[in-house]
Structure 1
Amino acid sequence: MAALLLIRHAQAGTAPLDVDRPLTGHGTEQARAIGAWLAERGLVPDRVVVSPARRAVQTWAAAAEGLGSAEPVIDPRIYDNTFDAVLAAIRETPEEVRCLAVVGHNPSIGGLASELAPGVDGFPAGGVAVFELTGTVAALAPGAATLRDVHLPGR
């Protein structure tokens, strides 16, 4: 079985350009909590695809501290923030990848989580959805994933 981790960046502050918005102090704490939660469950991705937005890069950097995960792949399609762009990036995952993490934004991350597990409503900053896949990550499709766990900030 393969696993897909959909991660929405942690709480971000403001900046003149959206792509430059940094994490707040609280957001950095949320991101570290994501990493601790993943480590507790033995969920260490062997591939991580991250939006080039500063807040997403910082989220994964803080989450990955001590996790021993793969170096992130920065993919502009995740920042494009459309369902189709994120799905295309996921479907290009090499077949040998057993655990993929995608760090991005709403509405695409929350929309994809909802598409894979109807009833997943709302996806807050710092949220994580863990899906178990019946096939490879590249073969991701509705009905081919089961929601196994959810991490919401502050819980």
Structure 2
Amino acid sequence: MQLFLMRHGEAGFDAPSDRERKLTDAGRTQTGYMANWLAKQISHFDLVIVSPYLRAQQTWQEVSKHLSEPRKWLVLDDVTPSGDAIRAVDVVLAYAEQYKAENVLVIAHMPILGFMVSELVAGIEPPLFATSAVAHIDKHAQNASFVAMTAPHQVVV
């Protein structure tokens, strides 16, 4: 399975709660760059999992403009910023198995994304994700390898 873990785009702080923070214009632009990059890496996603927080939902809206419709997409509370990384990994892998997904995209937040990487790939410290950055993990059976981390400033427009 090819697993892509993406942090939401840059979000503003002018919101009644963390859950309601919106993407900034820069966040939409960053996300567009990464969506184009993703479209070049992979032809389609079988499964997309998105946090219910507004900035993650808006990130998915931007990304979905550049990709074909996934077979299945879900909104899960398990991938919110304060979620439990072990549970989040278990849930993502369970849904991937249920839907026989070979290509999976998760759009979520820090710090859970960093902890999910270290849960998936033995011996790796939790990486920091820039906004809109994507970590690519190649997961097969009990083994997983960290392929790359790509951020918007690394993508050629």
Q: What TM-score results when the alignment is normalised by the length of structure 1?
A: 0.86
Distance 2:43 2:11 in 1: 24
| Contact 1:8 1:106 (8 Å CA) reproduced | yes
Instruction: Please give the secondary structure, in 2, of the residue aligned with 1:150.
Output: strand
Q: Tell me the residue number matched to 1:101.
A: 105
Distance 1:146 1:28 in 2: 29
Distance 1:62 1:41 in 2: 17
Once the 2 structures are TM-superposed, how far is the Cα of residue 8 of structure 1 from its aligned partner? 0.9
| Contact 1:46 1:100 (8 Å CA) reproduced | yes
- Give the 5 Å matches for 1:132-151: 132-135=138-141, 144-151=143-150
- Give the 5 Å matches for 1:51-66: 51-66=51-66
Distance 1:114 1:150 in 2: 13
Q: Tell me the residue number matched to 2:137.
A: 131
| Contact 1:38 1:44 (8 Å CA) reproduced | no
Once the 2 structures are TM-superposed, how far is the Cα of residue 94 of structure 1 from its aligned partner? 4.1
Residue ranges of structure 1 left out of the alignment (5+ in a row):
136-140
Once the 2 structures are TM-superposed, how far is the Cα of residue 89 of structure 1 from its aligned partner? 1.9
Once the 2 structures are TM-superposed, how far is the Cα of residue 120 of structure 1 from its aligned partner? 5.7
Give the CA RMSD over aligned residues.
Answer: 1.8
Cα deviations by residue, 1:65-104 (Å, 9 ceiling, x for unpaired): 1310315310111124221231132132243110111111
Q: Tell me the residue number matched to 2:37.
A: 37
| Contact 1:31 1:62 (8 Å CA) reproduced | yes
| Contact 2:6 2:132 (8 Å CA) reproduced | yes
Q: Tell me the residue number matched to 2:84.
A: 82
Q: Tell me the residue number matched to 1:12.
A: 11
Once the 2 structures are TM-superposed, how far is the Cα of residue 148 of structure 1 from its aligned partner? 1.8
Cα deviations by residue, 1:99-143 (Å, 9 ceiling, x for unpaired): 1111111111012223426156321111101111123xxxxx6xx
Which moves more between the two structures, 60-69 or 111-120?
Answer: 111-120
Q: What TM-score results when the alignment is normalised by the length of structure 2?
A: 0.85
Residue ranges of structure 2 left out of the alignment (5+ in a row):
none
